[in-house]
Structure 1
């Protein structure tokens, strides 16, 4: 039986708020070079997002960070709001944006081959290289 969880969050200045529906409490870490540049470290995000409702969309700036994905942030305060595939089939929402003490499960790490050597997470997670991530999304080896 699947239960959809609903989470709410807002940017630092309050200009943008999100309602996020997700299938579980799973959190993943992305260690890709773009996420490291974007946030100064890995992106810890909800990965089972089914729906995102944005209030204050006029305050959201979207940056196309690659041929396949874009990143959204508040144009007033710079809070990171989402990473999404351009086709709209996948959203990753930073867990810190919606965290209110939920029982999160750290389950996966992607682009593990781009993770800097100066840190390691102790959790046992599913780990995927960048190539494995692309293969999973495109079905191509």
Structure 2
């Protein structure tokens, strides 16, 4: 039986704290151009359940028509990638010790990853087309 557990994390300077609930936590990696520019690498996020509590000095930046990125306004640590239409925040795995013990299960924009960013393991690797269909579906209008 799987049970929920509460996790707590923080930014580099500790000014921002994050609390979340996880049931089956997984780590996802995104190789899109914006994530690489924002983090100087891929963005590693942790899947969480329901409510997320963020306390401290953070700011957001609208990075596309459908997404925003949260960061600590004191140290600049990446806090989340969020979709604006539904308010979902995908928390940075690095906020939590040992990424909350979660395994890597998914890569977004895997076909756009630089050669030196190859990740080991047997996990799903979504192409650019598959990722865009998931996050930015075209309107049927």
Q: TM-score, normalised by structure 2?
A: 0.87
Name stretches of at least 5 consecutive residues in structure 1 with no aligned partner.
none
The secondary structure found in structure 2 opposite 1:118 is: helix
Residue in structure 1 matched with residue 94 of structure 2 by the alignment:
96
Residue in structure 2 matched with residue 125 of structure 1 by the alignment:
123
Deviation, 1:100, is 4.5
Distance in 1 of aligned mates of 2:62 and 2:12: 22
1:113 to 96, 111, 114: 111
User: Cα 1:138–1:11, aligned 2, differ >3 Å: closer, same or farther?
Assistant: closer
- Asked if 1:39 is matched to 2:14, the reply is no
Greater mean alpha carbon deviation, residues 46-55 or residues 77-86: 46-55
Deviation, 1:69, is 0.3
Deviation, 1:138, is 5.1
User: Cα 1:103–1:10, aligned 2, differ >3 Å: closer, same or farther?
Assistant: closer
Aligned length: 139
- Asked if 1:13 is matched to 2:42, the reply is no
User: Cα 1:139–1:3, aligned 2, differ >3 Å: closer, same or farther?
Assistant: farther
Name stretches of at least 5 consecutive residues in structure 2 with no aligned partner.
none
User: Cα 1:130–1:89, aligned 2, differ >3 Å: closer, same or farther?
Assistant: farther
Q: TM-score, normalised by structure 1?
A: 0.87
1:54-110 per-residue CA deviation (whole Å, 9 max, x = no partner) reads 112xx1110000000000001111111111001234321111101247432111111
Residue in structure 2 matched with residue 63 of structure 1 by the alignment:
61
CA RMSD across the alignment: 2.1
Residue in structure 2 matched with residue 83 of structure 1 by the alignment:
81
Deviation, 1:116, is 0.5
User: Cα 1:76–1:62, aligned 2, differ >3 Å: closer, same or farther?
Assistant: same
